Chain A
Amino acid sequence: GNSVTQMEGPVTLSEEAFLTINCTYTATGYPSLFWYVQYPGEGLQLLLKATKADDKGSNKGFEATYRKETTSFHLEKGSVQVSDSAVYFCALGGGNKLTFGTGTQLKVEL
C-alpha cells in the first residue's frame, strides 16, 4: 500500500537558517504529493502541492519538487522565521484517500 516517511523532529533552527525536511514515499501509480502545515492550536492547512513528476510546488517561500526517480518530495526554505514554527506533514494522494506522514515539528529561535 501507499506510505509516506518523513524525518523525525523536532528540528530546531535559528532564524534565517536554511530548512530541509525530508519526505519519501512508496506508492503505486502516479500520486499527487502535498505538504500541510499545522500551527499551534490549529488544524492543518495546505502549504503546497505537486501533481506530477518534476512539478515544483511553492508557497510563502517554501518549495518542494516531485522527484519520481528518488520517490521524494523534500520541503525547503531558504530563510526561516520564528513564525514558521509549526508541525509539517507530508502527504500522498492516491487511490481514494490521502496518506499522511507522522509530521515533523519545526522550532525556529531568534
Chain B
Amino acid sequence: DVKVTQSSRYLVKRTGEKVFLECVQDMDHENMFWYRQDPGLGLRLIYFSYDVKMKEKGDIPEGYSVSREKKERFSLILESASTNQTSMYLCASSLGTSGSFVDTQYFGPGTRLTVL
C-alpha cells in the first residue's frame, strides 16, 4: 500500500513565524502535491512537483513556497505565517505515468495548522 506521511497532525504557530510542513511518500512516485482544505471551498492546489527540484504553482501559491530535494520528500514553507493561512493542509502523491498529472492521488492524513 502507498503510504503518505505528514510530519504533524496539529500545529499551532504565531503570526510572522516561518513554518515548515513535511511530507514523505514511500512508493517512488514522481508527482507530489500540496493542497489546503477549507470548509465550503473544497481542496485548492497550492504547489505541485513532477520531479526532484522541479515545482509548479497551483491555484493559490501566494504566501507559500516549496522544496523538493529528494524524490520522496516534499516540503511546504510558509515564509511568514498569517492568520488567513489557518487551514487543513493535505499532501498527496501520484505515480506520474508518462508525465500524467491525473493519475490516482494518494493523500496523507493532513496537518491542521492554526496561526494565532
B48 CB contact (under 8 Å) in A34, A46, A97:
A97
Assess the A101–B42 pair: CB atoms within 8 A.
Answer: yes
Assess the A46–B104 pair: CB atoms within 8 A.
Answer: yes
Complex CA gap A93/B80 in Å reads 32
Assess the B109–A43 pair: CB atoms within 8 A.
Answer: yes
* Nearest Cβ on chain A to B94's Cβ, whole angstroms: 9
Assess the B90–A44 pair: CB atoms within 8 A.
Answer: yes
B43 CB contact (under 8 Å) in A31, A46, A89:
A89
Interface size class of B (residues with CB under 8 A): 20 to 34
* Nearest Cβ on chain A to B36's Cβ, whole angstroms: 11
Complex CA gap A101/B108 in Å reads 19
Complex CA gap A43/B2 in Å reads 13
Q: Write out, one digit per residue, whether chain A residues 89-106 have a CB within 8 A of any chain B CB (1) or not (0).
A: 100011111101111000
Assess the A41–B58 pair: CB atoms within 8 A.
Answer: no
Closest to B90 in A: A43
Once A49-B104, A96-B56 are accepted as A-B contacts, the answer to whether A103 and B42 lie under 8 Å apart by CB is yes
CB within 8 Å of B: which A13-47 residues = 31-32, 34, 36, 41-46
A100 CB contact (under 8 Å) in B40, B42, B48, B101:
B42
User: Which residues of B sit under 8 angstroms from A44, Cβ to Cβ?
Assistant: 43, 90, 92, 105, 107
Closest to B35 in A: A100
Residues on A lying within 8 angstroms of B by beta carbon are 31-32, 34, 36, 41-46, 49, 89, 93-98, 100-103
> Beyond the given A97-B102, A98-B102, A101-B42, could you list 4 further A-B residue pairs with CB under 8 A, ordered by the A residue number?
A42-B109, A43-B90, A43-B107, A96-B56
- A sample of 5 cross-chain residue pairs with beta-carbon separation below 8 angstroms, ordered by A number, consists of A43-B90, A44-B92, A89-B43, A95-B101, A97-B58
